[in-house]
């Protein structure tokens, strides 16, 4: 009990004093996660739009598959990306293993299904009359998708936030692909796992509080958009 | 002359034929009313004309160009059409943003169109509504916005799907007034679905009664006076429909035998038929009089109902005929229950159909 | 249907490509500085020695960024066999020699040693205090089998250098590791690093085999005590092996050799020798450069 309390007090001290290690790990984590979310959004939202708009055989199965992949195990993505970008893998030439780039790749793959899936459901949430209305007013396919996305914008914000939340809280990809290199690929979750193993509880607790804070902000934002 | 031609349209939904063999030619600047009961395919037909739905079979030509050949042709064609849906729906955003949507889609500068938008809103009774949130408006106001949104692009064809169904009287009046104004300019082709016969009669040059197929098409008075089949007759509320058997007896004269009575008609249709006679074409007398009309039937009053200006009288002459009498006639002729009465009408007033 | 799958697979390839380019651009921001990637064992990383060596080295060579991937010896050598790192720093002689023989690494450079500790709960229920390693393991086996609730052993079970040494010790007692020891109820595998394994052993009052560095770093935080700390069987030699540039042309050969030279230099060896004295009140590693490998 004393240990927890002491850890907590020291952790708060670390945060309040803006401990350089805590700050640099937090910043790096945000940097990596923002980048993977950004790339994820740039890929997933257009693809989600395309899947929603186009009619093709196997569409329902594809959407089901995407929804199944929401809970894609992070270690599986870690393994997949490891095999892809390892020196002997097909993308070995990029030399991405044990780099933030590799982590971004893994996290992006991890969150693509979530953002794509929620984009599709978001678009289906828009009344079908809106699509007809846009078409009847002379919108091209592209303009129609754009209009629908504008109508579904709060659902899309929620999709992005969920993707970000999943990326920032995962540890499998970060550890397997990033290698937890100090000052380079060490992020909040991997540091917590390592420092707990090393018995440095105060650093783990400090980072845990920050991660919790970020999750809280994410959830507040999500609730804000869902109420709209 | 530019026209819209709809050729052999069929539409299947889950194996059910919703539209069957629809052929229409609509000339530029005319207005066509599509009238039929709920579920008759009105909405589907309009959606196909607007090409937001594709027919299972058949083609649409506009100015002799076949539409639906390519995406670009469809889009350009759609851009000549303004459509108002039955269910009022708006985009998120302000009234102004909603109205400007069609302009922006076409890349038209919206600065120059502001006076036009203002004028349009004014004539629809929505002056000063520009910056209101569209989703906060009532159904009637929303539908007026929808009409403004369709009109701002100055469409060559205006498609209206029951634009006033379930709306408040003020909105209905504003919308009907607007449609009439557009119609008077003879520039815009109007296709309007309605189940309101009076509205169709007032606003349309021609009316098509449809029930999956086109049952009858023509000028409104033709349809009311001379329904061509029992469906149309019943749908437009024709009175005195009686089943019988027609036989030609001389040129331009047919005898229709109906159980106990005979009716003469100038129609040339023979065999098992329906006949109808409009109540206002029947005259009455208390005693047998010599008349020019061939039909002179004797019966008694079976019942009557005071409906205000007129009194509706049911007369049994072997079949029941309904007639309308003015109050004065009713009292002058001292009509009461069981009164003996003669009905007279011209052979040419009798409408005969299969 | 067939056509759709074709489109989907093209899309997938495109997606991965876009991500790769995006990721590459991101990482490219670090260019101008070359990196030296070293796969190493958690026991070296956790003590903090590597951090200290890195700081001094990077001051000397400011354009080299040293990056450690800390894992078990087995995994570190696997990364080495794929050419994903430039150098390995591990502690399992037999595996290291095989690694070099098979052509993955150029040469083994032993640079420091210490001893594995057999640690356990203060009351020492298997009575191993003052024995040697083989006897201690034999006692744990016998007492554990007799009373599995009281006497337990926690293994890392992760194919790390420590784990490999532990298996060698079990086999030396005459009880085959795979067929006998692994199936015992008193024998627990954590599958984790040294720190976690010590924490688990502490919580369960179990014996364990630990490298001395990690144990000393944990000493104040857990109640376990060391019982057997000397002898040839517990000798723990750490080596550097640079990747073979003939097999892996992309490895950073020059930086790797600079690192080797630095560690083996008197400056590097001085850091190794003095490391831990102020932090743990005790020397953690004995320098080995220029000396024959010890045998007791």
Cβ atoms within 10 A of the Cβ of A69, count?
Answer: 16
Evaluate whether the domain defined by C32-113+237-287 bears CATH number 3.40.190.10. Answer: yes
- CB of A125 less than 8 A from some CB of B: no
Averaged pLDDT for residues C56-75: 93
β-pair type (B157-161, B189-194): parallel
Q: Are the beta carbons of A136 and B89 separated by less than 8 Å?
A: no
pLDDT-based confidence at residue C21 (cuts at 50, 70, 90): low
Beta-carbon contacts of residue C90 (< 8 Å; ≥ 6 apart) = C39, C40, C41, C73, C76, C77, C96, C161, C238, C239, C241
Domains of chain A by range and CATH? Answer: 2-227 (1.10.3720.10)
Give the strand order in the sheet containing B16-27.
B16-27, B3-13, B57-62, B65-66
**Which of B104, C222, B311, C97 has the alpha carbon at shortest distance from A140?**
B104
Q: Are the beta carbons of B47 and A132 separated by less than 8 Å?
A: yes
Q: Where in chain C is the domain with CATH 3.40.190.10?
A: 32-113+237-287, 114-234
Q: In terms of C-beta density within 10 A (0-12 exposed, 13-18 middle, 19 or more buried), how is residue A137 classed?
A: buried
Verify B-C touch: 3 or more CB pairs within 8 A.
no
**pLDDT value at position B286?**
87
Cβ atoms B50, B81 nearer than 8 A: yes
Cβ atoms C64, C261 nearer than 8 A: no
| Residue A3 pLDDT greater than 70, yes or no | yes
Which superfamily does CATH assign the domain made up of C114-234 to? Answer: Periplasmic binding protein-like II (3.40.190.10)
Q: Are the beta carbons of A138 and B91 separated by less than 8 Å?
A: no
Cβ atoms C134, C170 nearer than 8 A: no
| Residue C6 pLDDT greater than 70, yes or no | no
Cβ atoms C139, C127 nearer than 8 A: yes
Segments in chain B forming alpha helices (H): 42-49, 71-78, 95-105, 114-123, 139-151, 169-184, 197-203, 220-225, 230-235, 327-332
Q: Which residue of B has its CA nearest to A146?
A: B105
A8's tokens: 């907590």
Distance of alpha carbon C104 from alpha carbon C248, whole angstroms: 8
Cβ atoms C151, C140 nearer than 8 A: yes
C-alpha angle A83-C239-C164 in degrees, rounded to nearest 5: 65
Q: Which residue of A125, A134, A136 to mutate against B (max B Cβ within 10 Å)?
A: A136
Distance of alpha carbon A42 from alpha carbon A106, whole angstroms: 15
Cβ atoms A100, A178 nearer than 8 A: yes
Q: Are the beta carbons of C26 and A87 separated by less than 8 Å?
A: no
**Which of B140, B201, B137 has the alpha carbon at shortest distance from B165?**
B140
C-alpha angle C115-C120-C122 in degrees, rounded to nearest 5: 120
Phi, psi of C66 (to 5 degrees): -85, 130
Instruction: Name all chains with 3 or more CB-CB pairs below 8 Å to chain B.
Output: A
Residue for token pair 């700050």: A23
Helix count (H) and strand count (E) of chain B?
A: 10, 20
Q: Are the beta carbons of A96 and C46 separated by less than 8 Å?
A: no
Distance of alpha carbon A10 from alpha carbon A15, whole angstroms: 9
Average pLDDT in chain A = 89
CB pairs under 8 A between A and C: 102
Phi, psi of B178 (to 5 degrees): -60, -45
Cβ atoms within 10 A of the Cβ of A23, count?
Answer: 14
Q: Which residue of A122, A131, A138 to mutate against B (max B Cβ within 10 Å)?
A: A138
Q: What is the ipTM of this complex?
A: 0.82
pLDDT-based confidence at residue A228 (cuts at 50, 70, 90): low
Per residue in C102-114, pLDDT (tens digit) is: 999 999 999 999 9
Of A78-92, B211-225, C13-27, the one with minimum mean pLDDT is C13-27
Distance of alpha carbon B76 from alpha carbon B67, whole angstroms: 9
Per-residue pLDDT of chain B (354 residues; tens, 9 = 90+): 579 999 999 999 988 999 999 999 999 999 999 999 888 899 999 999 999 999 999 999 999 999 977 888 999 999 999 999 998 899 999 999 999 999 999 999 989 999 999 999 999 999 999 999 999 999 999 999 999 999 999 999 999 999 998 889 999 999 999 999 999 988 899 999 988 888 998 999 999 999 999 999 999 999 988 899 999 999 988 889 999 999 998 888 999 999 888 999 998 899 999 999 988 889 888 888 777 778 989 999 999 998 888 899 999 998 899 999 888 888 888 888 988 999 999 999 999 998
- CB of B133 less than 8 A from some CB of A: no
Give the nearest partner residue to A104 out of C26, C199, C222, using CB atoms.
C26
Q: Which helix (H) or strand (E) holds B58?
A: strand B57-62
pTM for this one?
0.76
Q: Are the beta carbons of A151 and B91 separated by less than 8 Å?
A: yes
Give the nearest partner residue to B52 out of A136, A143, A150, using CB atoms.
A136
Average pLDDT in chain C = 89
Domains of chain B by range and CATH? Answer: 3-234 (3.40.50.300), 241-353 (2.40.50.100)
Phi, psi of C191 (to 5 degrees): 70, 15
Q: Is B278 helix (H, G, I), strand (E, B) or coil?
A: coil
- CB of A185 less than 8 A from some CB of B: no
From B208's Cα to the closest Cα of chain A, the distance in A is: 23
Instruction: Name all chains with 3 or more CB-CB pairs below 8 Å to chain C.
Output: A
Angle at which helix B114-123 crosses helix B139-151, to 10 degrees, equals 140
Q: Which residue of C has its CA nearest to A91?
A: C20
From C260's Cα to the closest Cα of chain A, the distance in A is: 20
Per residue in C238-258, pLDDT (tens digit) is: 999 999 999 999 899 999 999
Q: Are the beta carbons of B89 and A143 separated by less than 8 Å?
A: no
Set of chain B residues whose Cβ sits within 8 Å of the Cβ of A127 = 89
A77's tokens: 């993505």
Beta-carbon contacts of residue C215 (< 8 Å; ≥ 6 apart) = C117, C119, C198, C224, C226
| Residue C1 pLDDT greater than 60, yes or no | no
| Residue C29 pLDDT greater than 60, yes or no | no
CA distances from A38 to A31, A160, A161, A197, C255 (A): 11, 9, 11, 32, 35
Set of chain A residues whose Cβ sits within 8 Å of the Cβ of C11 = 47
From B21's Cα to the closest Cα of chain A, the distance in A is: 24
Cβ atoms B172, B153 nearer than 8 A: no
Q: Which helix (H) or strand (E) holds C90?
A: strand C87-90
Q: Are the beta carbons of B91 and A143 separated by less than 8 Å?
A: no
CB pairs under 8 A between A and B: 51
Segments in C132-276 forming alpha helices (H): 133-146, 161-172, 194-204, 212-218, 253-264, 266-274
Cβ atoms C213, C97 nearer than 8 A: no
Q: Are the beta carbons of A133 and B91 separated by less than 8 Å?
A: yes
Set of chain A residues whose Cβ sits within 8 Å of the Cβ of C82 = 86-88
Which B residues, 49 through 108, put their C-beta within 8 Å of a C-beta on chain A? 50, 52, 71, 75, 78-79, 81-83, 85, 87, 89, 91-92, 101-102, 105-106
User: What percent of chain C is predicted at pLDDT more than 70?
Assistant: 90
Distance of alpha carbon C242 from alpha carbon C105, whole angstroms: 6
Distance of alpha carbon B318 from alpha carbon B261, whole angstroms: 7
- CB of C52 less than 8 A from some CB of A: no
Cβ atoms within 10 A of the Cβ of B31, count?
Answer: 23
Distance of alpha carbon C130 from alpha carbon C228, whole angstroms: 6
| Residue A182 pLDDT greater than 90, yes or no | no
How many residues in total does chain B contain?
Answer: 354
pLDDT-based confidence at residue A1 (cuts at 50, 70, 90): low
Set of chain A residues whose Cβ sits within 8 Å of the Cβ of B81 = 136, 138
Q: Are the beta carbons of C67 and A62 separated by less than 8 Å?
A: no
| Residue A146 pLDDT greater than 60, yes or no | yes
Per residue in C87-102, pLDDT (tens digit) is: 999 999 999 999 999 9
| Residue C3 pLDDT greater than 70, yes or no | no
């Amino acid at each position: 009990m004393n240990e927890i309390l002491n850890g907590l007090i020291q952790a708060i001290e670390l945060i309040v004093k803006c401990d350089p290690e805590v700050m640099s790990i937090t910043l790096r984590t945000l940097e990596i996660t923002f980048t993977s979310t950004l790339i994820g959004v740039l890929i997933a939202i257009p693809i989600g739009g395309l899947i929603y708009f186009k009619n093709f055989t196997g569409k329902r199965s594809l959407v089901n598959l995407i929804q199944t992949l929401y809970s894609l195990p992070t270690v599986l993505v870690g393994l997949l990306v490891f095999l892809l970008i390892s020196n002997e893998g097909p993308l070995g030439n990029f030399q991405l293993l044990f780099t933030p780039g590799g982590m971004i790749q893994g996290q992006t793959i991890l969150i693509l299904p979530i953002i794509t899936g929620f984009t599709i459901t978001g678009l289906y949430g828009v009344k079908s009359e809106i699509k007809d209305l846009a078409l009847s007013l002379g919108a091209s396919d592209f303009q129609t998708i754009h209009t629908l996305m504008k109508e579904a914008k709060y659902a899309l914000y929620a999709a992005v936030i969920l993707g970000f939340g999943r990326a920032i809280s995962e540890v499998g990809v970060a550890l397997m692909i990033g290698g937890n290199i100090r000052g380079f690929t060490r992020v909040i979750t991997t540091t917590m796992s390592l420092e707990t193993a090393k018995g440095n509880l105060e650093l783990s607790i400090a980072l845990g509080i920050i991660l919790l804070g970020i999750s809280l902000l994410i959830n507040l934002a999500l609730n804000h958009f869902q109420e709209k | 002359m530019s026209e819209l031609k709809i050729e052999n349209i069929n539409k299947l939904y889950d194996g059910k034929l919703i539209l069957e063999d629809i052929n229409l030619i609509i000339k530029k600047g005319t207005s066509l009313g599509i009238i039929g009961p709920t579920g008759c395919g009105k909405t589907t037909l309009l959606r196909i004309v607007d090409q937001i739905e594709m027919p299972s079979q058949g083609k649409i030509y506009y100015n002799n160009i076949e539409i639906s050949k390519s995406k670009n042709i469809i889009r350009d064609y759609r851009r000549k059409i303004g459509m108002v849906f039955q269910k009022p729906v708006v985009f998120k955003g302000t009234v102004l943003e909603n109205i400007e949507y069609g302009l922006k889609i076409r890349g038209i500068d919206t600065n120059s169109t502001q006076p036009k938008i203002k004028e349009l809103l004014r004539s629809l009774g929505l002056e000063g509504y520009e910056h209101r949130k569209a989703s906060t408006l009532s159904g009637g106001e929303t539908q007026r916005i929808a009409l403004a949104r369709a009109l701002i692009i100055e469409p060559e064809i205006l498609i209206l799907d029951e634009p006033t169904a379930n709306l408040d009287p003020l909105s209905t009046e504003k919308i009907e007034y607007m449609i009439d104004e557009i119609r008077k300019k003879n520039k815009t082709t109007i296709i309007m679905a309605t189940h309101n016969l009076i509205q169709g009669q007032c606003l349309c040059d021609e009316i098509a009664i449809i029930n999956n197929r086109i049952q009858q098409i023509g000028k409104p008075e033709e349809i009311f006076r001379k329904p061509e089949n029992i469906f149309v007759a019943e749908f437009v509320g024709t009175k005195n429909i009686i089943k019988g058997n027609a036989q030609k007896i001389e040129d331009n004269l047919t005898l229709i035998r109906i159980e106990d009575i005979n009716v003469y008609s100038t129609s040339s249709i023979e065999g098992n038929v329906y006949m109808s006679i409009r109540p206002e074409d029947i005259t009455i007398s208390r005693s047998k009089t010599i008349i020019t009309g061939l039909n002179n039937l004797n019966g008694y009053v079976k019942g009557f109902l005071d409906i205000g200006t007129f009194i509706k009288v049911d007369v049994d002459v072997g079949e029941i005929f309904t007639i309308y009498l003015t109050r004065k006639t009713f009292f002058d002729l001292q009509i009461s229950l069981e009164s003996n009465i003669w009905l007279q009408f011209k052979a040419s007033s009798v409408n005969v159909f299969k | 249907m067939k056509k759709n799958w074709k489109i989907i697979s093209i899309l997938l390839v495109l997606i991965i490509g876009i991500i790769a380019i995006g990721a590459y651009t991101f990482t490219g921001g670090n260019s101008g500085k070359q990196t030296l990637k070293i796969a190493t064992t958690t026991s070296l990383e956790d003590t903090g020695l590597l951090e200290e060596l890195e700081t001094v080295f990077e001051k000397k060579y400011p354009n080299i960024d040293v990056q450690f991937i800390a894992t078990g010896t087995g995994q570190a050598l696997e990364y080495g066999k794929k050419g994903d790192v430039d150098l390995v720093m591990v502690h399992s002689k037999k595996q290291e020699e095989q690694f070099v023989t098979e052509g993955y690494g150029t040469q083994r450079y032993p640079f420091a040693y210490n001893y594995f500790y057999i640690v356990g709960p203060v009351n020492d229920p298997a009575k191993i205090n003052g024995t040697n390693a083989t006897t201690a393991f034999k006692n744990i086996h016998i007492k554990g089998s007799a009373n599995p609730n009281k006497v337990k052993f926690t293994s890392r079970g992760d194919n790390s250098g420590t784990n490999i040494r532990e298996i060698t010790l079990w086999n030396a007692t005459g009880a085959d590791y795979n067929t006998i020891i692994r199936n015992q109820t008193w024998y627990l595998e954590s599958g984790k690093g040294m720190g976690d394994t010590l924490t688990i052993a502490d919580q369960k009052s179990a014996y364990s085999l630990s490298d001395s560095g990690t144990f000393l770093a944990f000493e104040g935080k857990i109640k376990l005590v060391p019982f057997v700390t000397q002898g040839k069987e517990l000798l723990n030699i750490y080596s550097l092996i640079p990747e073979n540039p003939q097999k892996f042309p992309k490895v950073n050969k020059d930086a790797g050799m600079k690192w080797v030279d630095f560690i083996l230099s008197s400056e590097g060896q001085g850091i190794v020798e003095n490391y831990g004295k102020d932090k743990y009140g005790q020397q953690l590693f004995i320098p080995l450069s220029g000396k024959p490998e010890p045998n007791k």
